[in-house]
Amino acid sequence: MVRPDYLGKGFVNLVASFVAAGGGVPRHPCLTSLPVAELQAAKNIVFVIIDGLGDNYLRANGADGPLAMHRRGAISAVFPSTTASAITTSFTGATPLEHGLTGWFTYFSAAACVGAPLPFKRRGEKSSLGVAPERIFVEGSLFDTLAVRSIVVSYRAIIDSLYNVHHCGNAERRPYDDLAGFLDETVGAVISDAQRKFIYAYWPQFDALAHQHGVASAQVRAHFAQLDGMFGELLARLKGTDTLVVLSADHGFMDSPAEESVELPPALASLLRFPLCGERRVAFCHVQDRKLFLQKAQEFFGDRAQVRPSGELVDEGWFGGGRAHADFAARIGDVALVMNGRGTVKDWVSGEPRHLHIGNHGGLSEDEMRIPLVVAKT
C-alpha cells in the first residue's frame, strides 16, 4: 500500500505551488519536483487534470508519445484517492482533513443524510441534499486568492453545478462539449488577452470510461491515445505563448473482478447507523457498537481488508494535516474498511441500481495512488 504524501511530493503540494506562483499564500509545502520559480518564470500556467489517469497507466501505455516525453515523474494522490477529495483539494488548496469531503458518498449531519457532494444528491435518491451549499462546502476558492486572472475550463454538463460554482469562485468559467472543444477552450483561454493567467482545465471522460469498461479495456486505451494526441496538439497550438503546461490527475485506477467484490453481510449491515460512506475501495462505517462491529468485521473480512478505527487513520496522517473540518470525525464514522488487493465492498440502498463498476479507485494501491507529473514549456 502507498501512503499519501502531503509534505512535498503529493497533489496537495502541486496545488500549493500553483498558489505560490500566482501570488497567493499556500496552505501547505510546495512540490519539490516543480520549483515555484519555474512556474513564476512563465507568463501563463495551464493546469490540466485528466480524471483517473494513473502514472502506472501512462508509463505502460504512453510509449514515446507527447505525455511520456514530458513526464517528469510521479506524485502522490490524496487519500481517499478519489475525485470528491482530490478535486476539492485542487479548487481550495486544502487537504481532505480540512475540506472534509472524504469520498463519493459522505455523511452530512447538516442534511441528516448520506449524500454525494459533487451532484449534491442524497444517496439512492434524485433529490437535492436540501441545504445551502455553504453548509457542505466550507473552504473558499483558491482562485479568489490569486493575483492573476483565473479561468476554469470544464465539461458543460457540470460547469454550472452547485459544487463548481462554489469552488470556482470569481474565476471565469468556460464550458466545452467534447475533446475538440476542450482543446479549443483551453487554447482560447491562454490567448484571450495579454494578462498573466492561470488556466485550470478539467477532463472527466477517461474516468467515466475506466469505470464503465475497466481501465485495462480497449475503449480506455483508444481514449488515452486521443488524449495523448490532444496534448501534443495543445503544445503545438500554444507555441510561442510563454506558457507552462502542467498535467496531472486526481487519482489512478484499478480493475476489480466481480469475484473480489464483497457485499456487506446482514450481520454487519444490521450494525450500521447509516449506509456505507466513502468508496467501494475504502468504506467508512457509522456503527451502533464499535467494539462489536470491529470484531465481526475482522472475522468476516480476514485478510481481504484492513479493519481499522477511523480515528487511527486521522492520527496517522492519511487525510493530511491542517485544521480539521468541524464535522470531520462524523464524516468518516467509527470504522474504516480499507480493502486489500483488488477487492471492493458494497452495500445497497433503495433506489440504487444494482450495478458494479469494473474500474475503481479510492484505495492505496500504486495504480490508484501514483499520479503523473507532466511538465512542458511552450
Both 81 and 152 in a single domain? yes
In a domain, 3, yes or no: no
Residue 2 lies in a domain: no
Asked if residue 179 belongs to a domain, the reply is yes
Residues 38 and 174 in one domain: yes
Residue 40 predicted with pLDDT over 90: yes
Is pLDDT above 90 for 358? Answer: yes
Q: Are 245 and 273 members of one domain?
A: no
Contact partners, residue 166, CB within 8 Å, separation at least 6: 133, 134, 137, 141
Residues 220 and 302 in one domain: no
Residue 353 pLDDT class (50, 70, 90 cuts): confident
Tell whether 267 and 281 lie within a shared domain.
yes
First to last CA, the chain: 37
Task: Look at the chain and report how many structural domains it folds into.
Answer: 2
Which CATH number is 324's domain given? 3.30.1360.180
Q: Is the pTM of this model over 0.75?
A: yes
For residue 354, the model assigns a pLDDT of 82
- Count of C-beta atoms within a 10 Å radius of residue 335: 24
pLDDT band at residue 75, thresholds of 50, 70 and 90? very high
Domain match, 217 and 238 both: yes
Same domain, yes or no: 263 and 246: no
Q: What is the mean pLDDT of residues 203-208?
A: 98
Q: Which residues are registered as beta bridge partners of 285?
A: 335
Per-residue pLDDT, 186: 98
Residue in 15, 23, 20, 26 with CA at minimum distance from that of residue 49: 15
Domain containing 209: what range?
Answer: 11-255+364-377
What's the rounded mean pLDDT across residues 6-18? 98
User: What pLDDT does residue 41 have?
Assistant: 97
If asked whether residues 295 and 168 sit together in one domain, one would say no
pLDDT, mean over the chain? 97
Q: Give 215-227 pLDDT, tens digit per residue.
A: 999 999 999 999 9
Does residue 146 fall inside a structural domain? Answer: yes
What is the CATH number for 96?
3.40.720.10
Using the structure block, give the residue that is written with the C-alpha cell 511538465. 375
Higher pLDDT, 355 or 86: 86
- Whether residue 6 is contained in a domain is answered as no
pLDDT over threshold 90, residue 326:
yes
Task: Point out the least confidently predicted range of 161-175, 305-319, 332-346, 349-363.
Answer: 349-363
173 and 75 in a single domain? The answer is yes
- 235 and 278 housed in the same domain: no
**Confidence band, pLDDT 50/70/90 cuts, at residue 351:** confident
Quick one: 154 and 97 in the same domain? yes
* HEC readout, 164-230: HHHHHCCCEEEEECCHHHHHHHHHHHHCCCCCCEEEEEEECHHHHHHHHHCCCCHHHHHHHHHHHHH
Whether 232 maps to a domain, the answer reads yes
Above 90 in pLDDT, residue 228? Answer: yes
pLDDT in tens, 76-114: 999 999 999 999 999 999 999 999 999 999 999 999 999
Specify the pLDDT at position 352: 84
CA–CA dist 368, 252 (Å, integer): 4
The residue among 276, 254, 277, 280 whose CA lies nearest residue 342 is 254
In a domain, 134, yes or no: yes
Confidence grade of residue 126 (pLDDT, cut at 50, 70, 90): confident
Residue 184 confidence (pLDDT) above 90: yes
* 115 domain-assigned: yes
Amino acid at 240: G
- Tens of pLDDT, residue by residue over 251-294, are 999 999 989 999 999 999 999 999 999 999 999 999 999 999 99
Judgement on whether residues 171 and 221 belong to the same structural domain of the protein: yes
The residue length of the chain stands at 378
Residue 355 pLDDT greater than 90, yes or no: no
